[in-house]
Amino acid sequence: MLIDLEKTEHLSSGLCLAHARTPIGPVVARWCGDPDALPGPYDAEWTVDEDVIWLGNTHPAPDRTYLLSPQPGGVLLRGRLDEIARAAAVLDLAGTRILLDLADPLPEGILGTWVDVLAEREKVALYPYEL
């Protein structure tokens, strides 16, 4: 996904956060690129290092609109569960596919459902890359 990096923020824990805009909303997430990266556009791959817990940190979405939204200490990712294999699911986030680990099997009939996933901002990571 193409993001527009606004700034990076260095935390006392040693992590670096990216403050960025995306086509589906703003985000504050862990930055896995150059901590001193200049503001501007970057192609970024996403990871979520938090297990999906159905009706815990993951719920049916109130509507069918892709969304990224900062939350207190976290990030809300709204997309569609596109496919499931063993203990993993794939979240379609406006054409970007994010592999998610499942804490437990999802209920039957969830495939294709629009969901909200709430994850800690430090567990949502952006990896910039060049094409």
Alpha-carbon dihedral sign for residues 20, 65, 82, 87: positive
Residue with tokens 């709204």: 78
- What pLDDT tens digit does each residue of the chain (131 aa) get? 999 999 999 999 999 999 999 999 999 999 999 999 999 999 999 999 999 999 999 999 999 999 999 999 799 999 999 877 778 999 999 999 999 999 988 888 888 999 999 999 999 999 999 87
Domain that holds residue 85: 2-129
pTM over 0.85: yes
* C-alpha neighbours within 13 Å on the C-beta side of residue 106: 27
Number of domains in the chain: 1
52, burial (CB in 10 Å: exposed 0-12, middle 13-18, buried 19+): buried
